[in-house]
Amino acid sequence: MNRILTDNSPENSVVLGGHPFGDRLLDAGQIERLLAAPVFKDINPAEFPSTTPLASILAYHGRIRRFFEGEMIVMEGDYGHSVFAILSGELRGLAPGQGRVRSAVRKQQTMITFFKSLAQLWQNARITERRQSGRIEDHGNGRDSILKTAILEKGANQPRRKRQDRRTRQATSPYQGPDRRQATRKASKSLVRMLPDVAEVIANQDTFCLGPGDIFGEIAALTRTSRQNTVFVASPMVEVFELRWQGLRELRRWSSYFCAYVDKLYRERGLEIQVAENHLFKGLDGPSLQRLIAHIQYGSYGNFEWTAAFQRQSQGKESAGNPPPLEQDIYLQGAAVNEIGLIRSGFVRVVETRDGHQQTVGYLGKNDFVGGAEIRQYLESGTALSWQNSYRALGYADILRIPVDPLLETLSNMDSQQLASLAPRTKGTAGNFSLLDFLVDKRLINGTQAMLIDNRKCVECDECVIACAQNHDNNPRFVRKGENHGPFLVANACMHCIDPVCLIGCPTGAISRDTESGAILIEDASCIGCSTCANACPYGNIEMVAVNDSQGNRLLKADGSQEMRATKCDLCTGKSGGPACVRACPTGALSRVDLHRPDQVGNLFR
């Protein structure tokens, strides 16, 4: 067996990056068990370099976790950063779009009536960030108890019949006595989410089985997109090995078997759906689609963790000398086009080099084709197929690489109208290159609801800030500062990004995208104040705040530290009339704008 790293020494951190995934490194016995598991037993350890042996990768980037009946391991819509391999027990996955189950665990946004809004005038507490102290003090388990209580509170809100069913099911569960209590304790300590009624879900919902040897979550971990399914425990207990994305990347890099295995899974589970959903390939018949998919390669450019470097550079904290590049070249201008890319996630900068001078001429986002313009030009005019521009991953871009030959074969049966969607022109700002540079350099193209303030109209009355505070626990959810472009200010308010990196890694799934409005929302009851989202946001638009009880005293955890919550703009979701900041601005200087819409952006900054 390879040498296993047995401590968290700085040397190990340098080799493998950061800190171990689990509380401690996996021991030799656990590694031996993993290497005998169906998923890993065919990996050849000899393929790995001596600096990062297979066992060390598993020990450092993985952790073994136990879950108990009813616990949800991943939820549809969560943004994942790890893959799971089942070691024992049975899991069930819910087909995508099983909203009923989601609503049972995530609070549904309900509209506040006019009279309830009116009542806020005298009901609103004068204390800033007031929270109920009872749920923390009553349980006394510190941060772990918050989530459990939150879920129990949701359970209490269920109709009487459901609670009755739950009691009945518990009484007849084969997993009883001390083991059951242990299960509950474990559940409370490991920050998991409980499904209200497993039996009912299995009976009435469209589920699929997962057992030992299966892996799941690989698409989200690879592409940093939202989980496609909710997976919950259907047997009394399961053991899973959770491998974070860094480990998955390492295994794919060194093990040809594992790389092929994961790619195969990705093709089976995600690729076909994604390609078929693309506007260009929508009308393709099954065999043509399969022929095309067989040639598609997966490509990842840039760095998953670009946000930290971007934050440092934005704040001017980057050390002088050689800051790490935030952009990686994908295709270079002038080179021959052998393949084009379909962007799965992230953004791509389009750069034109003319007379030695580089100019950003556009950007591309999810579902756009990198090279679509070149292919279209080739089909229409028959010019030589070479890259007209350079393309760079903005921080990180996940791309499906489609070779030219099979693509041209597929496109040969399409009419000009269909081909038009191949290159809907790079997103630009009508020749305003200064604005384009500003938006792309600051990554503001990510925002769908950016707060734009026209300083020519802003009279410094602070009505927007006051209105926001009055609607949100007497604490505004934005700062009237930010990035300036001419007389315009893009304020530090959540932009509700297309690619919301803040969602990645939230241990409780408290931060999520609202399926109806598209807003990124934090469910206060599930937030444990871990700061993961606040640290991840590249724009610094999530604030950690200390919370108080009804008397204005700071709430403390069981260990004596300050209870914190993540807060950010929620677009006043649930309140009629839209964001209070926009409604309160007397001069119309403040607006919420979609900076990703190329047809609007140019007009906005005039």
Residues that bind other proteins (CB under 8 A): 114, 117-118, 120-121, 124, 455-463, 466-467, 470-471, 480-481, 484, 487, 489, 575-577, 580, 582-589
Distance CA 63, CA 243 (A): 7
Please say which residue, 17 or 602, places its beta carbon nearer to other proteins: 602
Please say which residue, 213 or 487, places its beta carbon nearer to other proteins: 487
Half-sphere exposure of 463 (CA within 13 A, CB side): 16
Please say which residue, 411 or 580, places its beta carbon nearer to other proteins: 580
C-beta of 75: minimal distance to other proteins in Å? 32
Amino acid identity for residue 494 in this structure: C
CA 339 to chain centre: 28
CA 46 to chain centre: 34
Please say which residue, 585 or 601, places its beta carbon nearer to other proteins: 585
Please say which residue, 394 or 580, places its beta carbon nearer to other proteins: 580
The two structure tokens encoding residue 19: 């800190």
**558 burial via Cβ count (<10 Å: 0-12, 13-18, 19+):** middle
C-beta of 582: minimal distance to other proteins in Å? 7
Find all residues with CB under 8 Å of 275, minimum gap 6, and list them. Answer: 281, 289, 292, 293, 296, 342, 400
**570 burial via Cβ count (<10 Å: 0-12, 13-18, 19+):** buried
C-beta of 285: minimal distance to other proteins in Å? 47
C-beta of 516: minimal distance to other proteins in Å? 18
Residue found by looking up tokens 């990768």 in the block: 57
Please say which residue, 219 or 584, places its beta carbon nearer to other proteins: 584
C-beta of 485: minimal distance to other proteins in Å? 11
Which residues are registered as beta bridge partners of 564?
546
Please say which residue, 200 or 463, places its beta carbon nearer to other proteins: 463
Nearest C-alpha neighbor of 166 from the set 230, 92, 104, 74: 104
Helix (H) or strand (E) holding 440: helix 433-441
C-beta of 438: minimal distance to other proteins in Å? 14
Amino acid identity for residue 45 in this structure: P
What CA dihedral angle connects 194, 200, 206 and 207, to 10 degrees?
Answer: 50
C-beta of 441: minimal distance to other proteins in Å? 17
Across 211-319, the runs of DSSP E, i.e. the strands, are 215-216, 230-233, 237-244, 297-302
C-beta of 16: minimal distance to other proteins in Å? 42
Please say which residue, 376 or 592, places its beta carbon nearer to other proteins: 592
* Rg of the chain (C-alpha set): 26
Q: Nearest 5°: CA angle at 198, between 85 and 200?
A: 140
Please say which residue, 99 or 487, places its beta carbon nearer to other proteins: 487
Q: How far apart are the first and last CA of the chain?
A: 65
Please say which residue, 176 or 576, places its beta carbon nearer to other proteins: 576
C-beta of 168: minimal distance to other proteins in Å? 44
Amino acid identity for residue 117 in this structure: S
C-beta of 515: minimal distance to other proteins in Å? 23
Q: Is 302 left (phi over 0), alpha (psi -120 to 50) or beta?
A: left
